[in-house]
Amino acid sequence: MGVELHLPLIPDVELVAAKAVEVVGRDLGMTPEDIESAAVATVEACLNALEHGGNSKILVRVDVVEVEGRRFLQAEVEDHGVGFDPRAVPGAGASRVHGCAAKRGWGLTLIRELMDEVQVRSRPGLTLVTMRKGVGEGR
Amino acid sequence: MEQEQLQVSTEILPDGVGVISASGYINNEGGQAVADAVERLLEEGSTTLLVDLSGTRIINSIGISILLEILEKLLDASGRLAFCNLTPTIAKTFEIMGLAQYAGIYPDRETALGALGSHGGA
C-alpha cells in the first residue's frame, strides 16, 4: 500500500508529501498528533532536499514497515544533490533567540525530535533520509 | 489543499492588545505575512500581541524562524508576544526551537488574553 512520489521543484511541493503521510497514517489508524508529527518531519526532509538536492527531482516513499514486531509508518526522502555530513549538523540546544545569528538549520533537529527512528545516509549524488513513526500499541 | 491557503487578519482590542489570526501553511510566505501583520500593529502602537493559530495545521522551520525574528523585534521594543490554539505538534516545534522560552503559549484565546492582562473585547 506504499506511495511513491516524484516531486518536481515547485513551490510548496512538500505539502504533497505531507498529504501522502496524512492519508497513509490515517489508514493505519495513527493518532492525529502522530500523523501531524510525521507530516511536519517529512516536510522538513523535503525542504532540505529542495535546498541541497541540486536540480534533480525529489523522490518520496511513504509506506508501512514492520521492524522487530513493531509496525511503523516509514517516510523516505531521497535527492541526488551534493550531499552533506549529518554529523556536522547542530543538534537541539539552547534557544536561538537573541544574540545568535543562526536561526536556520533546524530541519534535522525537528525530524529527530518528531520521529521515533531516523536514519540519514548522505554522499555526493545521493542523500536518503529514512524516518519512522510507530503505529498503535507497543510504542 | 484549500486548508493550507494562508489567511491573516488583525484586530486591536479596546485595551490595546493586538490579535493576529493566521490560518494555513506557515512557511516562508506565511511567516512573512504574520511578520507584516506584526509590523502594522507595532506601527499602530500595539506592543502586546497575540497570534492565534487556529486553522494552522502545518508549519515549517523557515516559518518558525521568521516568527523568532518577530519575537526578537518585539522584545527589543519591550513588547510581549503570545500564541494560542496551537496543535500539539506545532507547540512541540515551538519548544524545540526555543520560541516557547520567550513567548507565552496558551490553549485558547481567552486564556491567552487573561494571561496578557487583557479583558478581550468585553
DSSP result, B51-79 = EE-TT---B-HHHHHHHHHHHHHHHHTT-
Q: What chain A residue is nearest to B103 in terms of C-alpha separation?
A: A97
Q: What's the domain count of chain B?
A: 1
Please name the residues in contact with B63: beta carbons below 8 A apart, sequence gap of 6 or more: B25, B26, B27, B28, B30, B31
d(CA A123, CA A85): 8
> What CATH number is attached to the domain comprising B32?
3.30.750.24
Bridge-based pairing of strands B7-12 and A3-7 is: unpaired
Instruction: Answer yes or no: is B16 within a domain.
Output: no
Q: What percent of chain A has pLDDT over 90?
A: 71
Contact B58 A113 (CB under 8 A): no
Distance from CA of A38 to the nearest CA of B (A): 9
**Can you give the residue range of the structural domain that contains A70?**
3-134
- Span B34-53, pLDDT tens digits: 999 999 999 999 999 999 99
**DSSP letter, residue A86:** G
**Can you give the residue range of the structural domain that contains B74?**
1-6+27-97
Rounded mean pLDDT, A9-27: 96
Contact A113 B96 (CB under 8 A): yes
Mutate to test the interface with A, among B61, B72, B94 (most CBs of A within 10 A): B61
Nearest by CB: B58 against A40, A94, A104: A40
3-class SS at A1?
Answer: coil
Instruction: Answer yes or no: is B93 within a domain.
Output: yes
Instruction: Answer yes or no: is A113 within a domain.
Output: yes
Instruction: Answer yes or no: is A80 within a domain.
Output: yes
**A107 vs B18, B20, B29, B51, B76, CA distance in Å?**
31, 26, 17, 23, 27
Contact B89 A92 (CB under 8 A): no
Instruction: Answer yes or no: is A70 within a domain.
Output: yes
Q: What percent of chain A has pLDDT over 70?
A: 86
Q: What chain B residue is nearest to A111 in terms of C-alpha separation?
A: B93
Instruction: Answer yes or no: is A139 within a domain.
Output: no
Tens-binned pLDDT, residue by residue, of chain B (122 aa): 556 788 999 999 999 999 999 999 999 999 999 999 999 999 999 999 999 999 999 999 999 999 999 999 999 989 999 999 999 999 999 999 999 999 999 999 999 999 998 776 54
Instruction: Answer yes or no: is A76 within a domain.
Output: yes
Residue A92: pLDDT over 80 = no
Instruction: Answer yes or no: is B15 within a domain.
Output: no
- Work out the mean pLDDT of chain B and round it to a whole number: 92
> What CATH number is attached to the domain comprising A41?
3.30.565.10
pLDDT at position A86 is 74
Q: What's the domain count of chain A?
A: 1
In sequence order, what are the beta bridge partners of A7? A58
CB A54 within 8 A of CB A79: yes
What burial class does residue B53 get, using C-beta atoms within 10 Å of its C-beta: 0-12 exposed, 13-18 middle, 19+ buried? Answer: buried
Task: Please tell me if residue A10 touches chain B, with a CB cutoff of 8 Å.
Answer: no
Task: For residue B1, give the nearest of A59, A8, A23, A33 by alpha carbon.
Answer: A23
pLDDT at position A137 is 62
Nearest by CB: B72 against A15, A44, A97: A97
| ipTM of model | 0.89
Q: How many CB atoms lie within 10 A of CB B25?
A: 23
Task: Please tell me if residue A36 touches chain B, with a CB cutoff of 8 Å.
Answer: yes
Q: What chain A residue is nearest to B66 in terms of C-alpha separation?
A: A103
Nearest by CB: B69 against A36, A40, A103: A103
B119 or A74, greater pLDDT: A74
